[in-house]
Every structure is written in structure tokens, then in C-alpha cells.
Amino acid sequence: MSVTNPTLITFVIYIAAMVLIGFMAYRSTNNLSDYILGGRSLGSVVTALSAGASDMSGWLLMGLPGAIYMSGLSESWIAIGLIVGAYLNWLFVAGRLRVQTEHNGDALTLPDYFSSRFEDKSGLLRIISAVVILVFFTIYCASGIVAGARLFESTFGMSYETALWAGAAATIAYTFVGGFLAVSWTDTVQATLMIFALLLTPIIVLLATGGVDTTFLAIEAQNPGNFDMLRNTTFIGIISLMGWGLGYFGQPHILARFMAADSVKSIAKARRISMTWMILCLGGTVAVGFFGIAYFSAHPEVAGAVTENHERVFIELAKILFNPWVAGVLLSAILAAVMSTLSCQLLVCSSALTEDFYKTFLRKSASQVELVWVGRAMVLLVALIAIAMAANPENRVLGLVSYAWAGFGAAFGPVVLISVIWKDMTRNGALAGILVGAITVIVWKHFELLGLYEIIPGFIFASLAIYIVSKMGAPTAGMLQRFAAAEVDYRMNK
């Protein structure tokens, strides 16, 4: 247990620090706007790093390195697609969404924004978009809890059932207490820890396998196809991996960071910081999985855990190659990745339940204190449902994430993107886009049509539905006026 004790101590210190940040944020949380969006007070650095950390969940240090370890560089198309998609999201959506949400009723959530932007008096748009958030985010939350459970299970020898609760407890605690500010402040710490781990680990693995030349020869000896970007791929396969980038336009937990920025002026600087962080992290992730091929082919005696579950490649390398105290810090990076995304997802679900159901339909006269406590109760409720969904130990992190990512990308991506750049989009167009996108993902996933990742047909069909249905009607004068005012605000201040 000599490895476990220092690692356990490191984990406890790290978790205690995150919970402490949660209590610090508690003191700055006075109303629902503070709890859901931090009072729109995030500077460029926190906006950038919290957007990155909330995006890169446990799959960054578990799912993706495992895929690279199993299949070589042909799996890296997903990283290329994500980088392109994230950049376009920052470029076209971030600043415009910041001003559009402010000009449309100072919206706190995506359903709130859709409802105000398209003057939906019926509440149908708000309800359907909130339901989409709850369905797909509960699946997404389950993926984070699975990743956390895998980490605790392999690091401390816990049973999967115990590890589920251990992995989720800390995240639930600081999200419950501190809300959006706690999530954003902890995300900044977690993003720093993640990039440290993903830059250091591949360098040490490279040194342990004898340097660049020796490592590459060992990878080639294991299978020359590991270097082939086109190995075992098809055109549809590459398009499917690249298609992950489309998902960024519709991820509520990432879009919330744009909405919470202190001003449009912060967005450009935040984009540069976030993209640099993302490129370095994804490069490090690919390198960990790739160099891991050389290390474990040279040391088959310690490869058992990775052979059993390839998503443990980063965990095993950290435990084997580093001093137990350093290993504890590196493994905390996985916990950071899991906690940063899970906390954002819990908060978005809580926001949907509190702002878009409870406040809108049940208690319009509810006080701010009451709404904050309802929000906290909803964090617990969603977390318990996600834990129940994650109870199957056969779950794979990347599989759960891909389904939820596609659901949001197709249901919300076209609606968000088109709503901030096209003034003539209508309420019925938005409604058609959400429904067509979500239904296409569910049906396409079920039948596995053409072997194509479901986000691509979902995004295309939703975009067509928005355009065709919007052309069948016309926006109101109020919608056009608010859109124009927001666009002027954006262009003057960007």
C-alpha cells in the first residue's frame, strides 16, 4: 500500500481544496443569477480555462488515450475535428451569444435565451429545450461518474460500487454549495493541473522507453500501421471523427461560459488562451496513448490492467513511472477532468429544472433565496439519477460521451449558431431544429445507419429544418429590433 497512501493523501488534499473553493464561492452567491452564471463576472482567463476544463472531461485522460493506444494515430482525427470546431465556436458564437443573451431578457440559460429570442409565449420552446438538456446531460453526467469510478477503482482497489460514490461525492459537494462561481474557479485550477499532467507524462514515458528514435521503432515493431493516419479508416470513419467538432455549437456547459463573460472584449483574449490550452492538452493526450504502445510492448509484465481496459493507459503509466506523490498529483488531473465537466453538467441540469420549470411554471413569485436552494436540491436529484445510470460496470466512457455530445450538438448547435447570425430565424424554425436534431440522433444511433456518427446527419437535418420552417413565417418587429441592437453592441465592443 506504499503507493496508495501518498496518492490517497494527495487526493484528499486536492478534494479538500476544491470543496474549500466551493465555500468561498458560497459567500459570493446571493441570487439565482450568481448561482447559475456567476453574475456575468468572469474575466478572460477564467472564461477560457473554465470553458476548456468543462469541455475536456474524463475522456481526455481516459477515453482518447485508450483509443490511440488501441488503434494508433488513426484515432487522432477526433482531436483535429475538436480543435477546428472549438475555434469556430469561439469565433462565431462566443461574443454574439454573450450580447444576444443580454439583449434578450438577460437570459440565464439556453432555454431562457431561446424563449426570449423568439418571443415564445406558449412555453413550448422552453420546455422542449429543457427536456433535451435533462435527457442528454443525465447521460453525460453518468459518463463522468463512470470515469471517476474507474479512477478510484484502479487507484485504490475499491469495488466499482464504492468507487461510484467516492468519485461523485466531492463534485456534488462543491457544486451544491458554491454554484457557478465555484465551478468556474475550480475549473481554472483543474485546467492548470490537466495541462501539467498532459505535458509531463508523455515526456517521462518517452525517456523511459529510450528516447524518440527507440520509442518510434518500438511502436512500429508492435504494428507499422500505428503511424498510419488512414489505417482501418474509411471516408465515413474520418468524417465521423472530424464531426465531433460540430458538437461545440450546442454544448450548454461550454456556451454558459460565453454567457458568463464579463464583457465581449474579454472573448478575443479568452479564445487565444483557450485554444492554446486545448491544442497542448490534446497533443499531450495523443502522445500518452501513442508512447504507451512502446512502453507496454517493452514491459508486458505490467500491461495486464491496460490489456483488460485500454482506457486505463494514463492511470497505469502514472502509477508505474512516477514517485507515488507525483503520481498522486497526476492522477488528480483525471479527477480534475472528471470533476470540472461533471460539475458544469450538474449545474446546467439544475439551472434547467430551477429557471425553466420551477420558476416559470410552478413558483413565479419565488424569492431568490428559495430559487438558489431549489437549484441546490436539483443538483442532488440529477446526481443521484446519473449515479444510478452509471451503476453498470461495463460502461465505457467514450461511448457514453459520444451519444450525449451528438445529442446536444445536433439539437442545439444549429439553433444557437443560426440564431446569433441570421436575423430572420423564427420561433417555429427553432422548434423544428431542436426536434429534428434530437430525433435524428436517437434514430440514427439506434439503427447505426451507414456507420456515420449521428451528429452529422442530425446537424445537417436540423439546419435544413430551421431554414425551411423559418422561411414559411417571419420574425416579429421586436425580434428584429433586439437582434439588430445586439449585433451593433457586438460590433462596437468586440
Q: Does 223 or 466 have the greater pLDDT score?
A: 466
Mean pLDDT of the chain: 86
Specify the higher pLDDT residue, 350 or 410: 410
Q: Are 392 and 164 in contact (CB under 8 A)?
A: no
Please give the residue that has the higher pLDDT: either 454 or 345: 454
Q: Is the pLDDT of residue 3 over 60?
A: no
Convert the pLDDT of each residue in 23-74 to its tens digit.
777 777 677 767 767 667 778 888 888 888 777 776 788 888 999 999 999 9
Q: What is the CATH number of the domain that holds 347?
A: 1.20.1730.10
The CB density around residue 59, as the number of other CB atoms within 10 Å, is 28
Q: How many structural domains compose the chain? A: 1
| Domain presence at residue 449 | no
Domain presence at residue 476? no
Task: Classify residue 246 by its DSSP letter.
Answer: G
471 falls within a domain:
no
Residue 488 is assigned to a structural domain of this protein = no
Average pLDDT, integer, range 455-466: 97
- The predicted pLDDT at position 2 comes to 47
Q: Please give the Cα distance from 150 to 65 (Å, whole number).
A: 15
DSSP per residue, 254-276: HHHHHHHBS-THHHHHHHHHHHH
Q: Is residue 434 part of a domain?
A: no
Q: Indicate whether 429 belongs to any domain.
A: no
Mean pLDDT (whole number) for 326-337 = 82
Domain hosting 74: range is 4-398
Whether residue 113 has pLDDT greater than 60: yes
- For 165-215, the pLDDT digits (tens) are 887 887 777 777 767 777 778 788 888 888 898 999 999 999 999 999 999
pLDDT in tens, 126-154: 889 988 888 887 877 887 788 788 778 87
Write phi, then psi, for 430 (nearest 5 degrees).
-65, -45
- Does 455 fall in a domain? no
Q: Which three cell numbers stand for residue 476?
A: 416579429
Residue 164 lies in a domain: yes
User: Within the chain, what is the greatest distance between any pair of CA atoms?
Assistant: 71
pLDDT value for 448: 83
Please name the residue that has the C-alpha cell 456515420. 452
How much of the chain, in percent, has pLDDT values that exceed 90? 41
